[in-house]
Amino acid sequence: MIDAETMKALHKAQANEITEYHIYKKLSSYMKKRNEHNSRVLQQIARDELRHHDELKMFTGTEKKPKTLKIYFYTFISMVFGLTFGIKLMEKGEESSEKLYRELGEHIEEFKRIALEEDKHEKELVDIIEEERLKFVGSMVLGLNDALVELTGTLAGLTFALKNTRLIALAGLITGIAASFSMAASEYLSARTEQDNAHALKSSVYTGVAYIITVACLVLPYLVFSNYVASLVLTIMAAIFIILVFSFYISVAKDLSFKERFFEMAGISLGVAVISFLIGYLIRLVLGVDI
């Protein structure tokens, strides 16, 4: 016998299954002309989700309608941030359903099989999705992390050395743009040295673009505000936000620890910023520069 509370959870799980069926089906259609392999993988997952919905229907006795808003949300997320990220983010939100299936699987064979498929089969299918941006995530980390460490430190050092937001922004942009080209070139030569000629150019582009975007975000406060202290505070906040977002993306897409990634990147970037700030202040005092 299934109690009322468990039945309520089954109704919710059934609605999630039919919703995910429509999400995977939509993504499969979107990928059909772009990557036939990924389209077939998504079709397989969609069929599994539909079958799970139909099996749950035998217990609930009702037909469930998909959640339209959720369909559009996860479809949009997957298209913008990548299939792997979108799908894994969605699956993380359905852990309660998997727990329910495992608990019921101790007494009912059908749920034991569904739990195994949810826990293993779908994850295996997601892992074989071919996605270019994840192949170059190391290059993105290199560009983003180097820009955070170098430019946050540079801007912090320049802030009290120059005390002029326009001059700080000018110096920061020149330093950042030059460094982005230098980093992209270094990544290209590194890939060529490792005999990875096919991906050398793309690897350098991902590194350079990640660097440039980070530079723009960090320098922006100095272009908008005239108070150099407020600009520095906003730059530090922007750096923390970038680290937060990217750490979350990597933790979901690569199944890594979010806290470990975040505190490691934040500690290094902010540590360098503090040291550079102190160096800039001391140099200003020693040289007697007052702008």
Contact 278, 111 (CB under 8 A): no
Residue 161's pLDDT band (cuts 50, 70, 90):
confident
Task: Kindly state whether residues 67 and 194 are assigned to the same domain.
Answer: no
State the pLDDT at residue 131.
65
Task: Kindly state whether residues 276 and 137 are assigned to the same domain.
Answer: yes
Choose the final residue of a domain: 130, 160, 182.
Answer: 130
For residues 256-271, give the mean pLDDT: 82
Task: Kindly state whether residues 119 and 200 are assigned to the same domain.
Answer: no
Task: Kindly state whether residues 149 and 265 are assigned to the same domain.
Answer: yes
For residues 91-117, give the mean pLDDT: 74
Average pLDDT score, the chain: 82
Task: Kindly state whether residues 147 and 88 are assigned to the same domain.
Answer: no
Backbone angle region of 168, left / alpha / beta, with phi > 0 → left and psi within -120 to 50 → alpha? alpha
Task: Kindly state whether residues 143 and 280 are assigned to the same domain.
Answer: yes
Please state the pTM of the whole predicted model.
Answer: 0.70
Choose the final residue of a domain: 79, 106, 130.
Answer: 130
Task: Kindly state whether residues 123 and 232 are assigned to the same domain.
Answer: no
Task: Kindly state whether residues 69 and 212 are assigned to the same domain.
Answer: no
Task: Kindly state whether residues 56 and 152 are assigned to the same domain.
Answer: no
Q: Which of 20-29, 79-88, 97-106 has the lowest mean pLDDT?
A: 97-106
Q: Which of 24-28, 52-56, 143-147, 278-282 has the lowest mean pLDDT?
A: 278-282
State the pLDDT at residue 184.
85
52 pLDDT higher than 80: yes
The span from the CA of 66 to the CA of 21, in Å, is 9
Task: Kindly state whether residues 123 and 182 are assigned to the same domain.
Answer: no
Choose the final residue of a domain: 80, 95, 130.
Answer: 130
pLDDT tens, 199-226? 788 888 888 888 899 899 999 999 999 8
The span from the CA of 247 to the CA of 258, in Å, is 6
Name the residue range of residue 81's domain.
Answer: 4-130
CA distances from 216 to 29, 50, 75, 175, 283 (A): 36, 45, 28, 12, 26
User: Number of structural domains, the chain?
Assistant: 2
